[in-house]
Amino acid sequence: MSWHTKTIKEISTSLQTKEVSSQELATYFLQRISGATELNAFVDLNEEQTMREAKLADEDGALDAVLIGGVDPMDISSDALSQLLNTFVVSLEISHSSVTAIADVVLPVAAVVEKSGAFADWQGSVRSFAKAIEDATPRSDVKILSALADEMGTPINLPSVAATTREIDALGKWGGAKESFGSVSLTNTNAEIELSSWRQLLDLGSLQIGEANLAGTARKSIAHISAGRASQIGVKDGDSVKISSELGEITLPVVISEMSDNKVWVPRNSINSQVIPNLGFVRGAVKVVKA
């Protein structure tokens, strides 16, 4: 039986019985990719916008395969998984997830404690960390990506985390003019306003499953609106507001903050505030009223 006709189940059995090596598995994966008409799109599913582009590419028949690394579909859209069912999916992961459940190939990668690297916050501040487990054997995400790119004839020349760090540092800091922002007045108090959200450090993320004590230290879910919006809908700090879309709604206590009158912010994936399954998106037009 040739590699091209082996099923994922058969490959998994072969790996467990040590009939094949990881190098042979990588070779099979590359054969599957190169066997497609052409890999016309490389998709990173870290943004909802990219997911929409992937969907359009798939509908046009231009998307042969998708490589997904460390992404929870519930961070993207309510129908993200269904958009991937007819596409060849490769998952880079450290544990089972809804993506690995539909993936054609799963490549295990090193967890944070098994590699060195850095985290960057939303302000661009970088905090680096060293490898905590010296004898860990899993490969880092970037090493696997670089190896795949080499085999596909489009090298990215990033064989290690250190090499990646040097390349990113070489970009330097932004030296152009800073953006200027002006105030915007509230024009229609009954109109839909724009939802904004991002994930809290401690929330309902898949890597925190089973950590009840850690979850107990998470921030409480609250909605943030401006003083002008609060006055228009008749709420004060601590009152509850209902945020709704065509799909559904969530109800949260409110905090009045210094922000645009046309915005409302809520946690993206926290207790009582899971915006994708309840509202259908992570940003868009919603209605906010007193609950």
Helix, strand, or coil (residue 245): coil
Does residue 256 surpass a pLDDT of 90? yes
- Of residues 209 and 290, the one with the higher pLDDT is 290
- Supply the DSSP string of 121-146, one letter for each residue: -TT--EEEE--S-TT--PPPHHHHHH
Domain assignment present for residue 184? The answer is: no
Whether 222 and 254 have beta carbons less than 8 Å apart is answered as: yes
Mean pLDDT of the chain: 76
Does 113 share its domain with 22?
A: yes
Domain of residue 134 covers 3-165
Place 14 in a pLDDT band, splitting at 50, 70 and 90. low
- pLDDT tens digits, one per residue of 15-59: 455 454 544 554 544 444 444 333 333 333 344 444 555 555 555
CA-to-CA separations, 104 to 7, 28, 87, 136, 288, in angstroms, rounded:
9, 12, 9, 26, 42
**Above 50 in pLDDT, residue 211?**
yes
d(CA 211, CA 216): 9
pLDDT value of residue 11: 47
Task: Return the bridge partners of 121, or none.
Answer: none
In a domain, 209, yes or no: yes
Indicate whether 173 belongs to any domain.
no
Q: Of 80-84, 132-136, 153-157, 211-215, which range is least confident?
A: 80-84
| Residue 239: CATH number of its domain | 2.40.40.20
- Residue 250's alpha-carbon distances to 197, 206, 273, 280, 287, in angstroms, are 13, 21, 7, 11, 11
**251 and 128 in a common domain:** no
Contact 92, 70 (CB under 8 A): yes
- Is residue 64 domain-resident? yes
The pLDDT of residue 264 is above 80: yes
**Within this chain, do residues 39 and 111 fall inside the same structural domain, yes or no?**
yes
Question: Which CATH number covers residue 22?
Answer: 3.40.50.740
Q: If you ran DSSP here, which 8-state letter would residue 62 be given?
A: -
- Whether 267 maps to a domain, the answer reads yes
List b or e across 19-36, with b for residues whose CB sees 16 or more CB atoms inside 10 angstroms: ebeeeebbebbeebbeee
3-class secondary structure, 111: coil
Higher pLDDT, 283 or 290: 290
pTM of the entire predicted model: 0.60
pLDDT of residue 246 exceeding 60, the answer is yes
* Per-residue pLDDT, 185: 64
Task: Kindly state whether residue 246 falls inside one of the protein's structural domains.
Answer: yes
Q: Are residues 77 and 206 in the same domain?
A: no
- Give Cα separations from 118 to 74, 124, 140, 147 (angstroms): 24, 11, 13, 21
What contacts 126, CB < 8 A, 6 or more positions away?
118, 119, 120
Q: Is residue 198 part of a domain?
A: yes
- Considering the domain architecture, whether residues 132 and 202 belong to the same structural domain is answered as no
How many domains is the chain built from?
2
29 and 161: one domain? Answer: yes
What pLDDT, on the 0 to 100 scale, is given for residue 34? 43
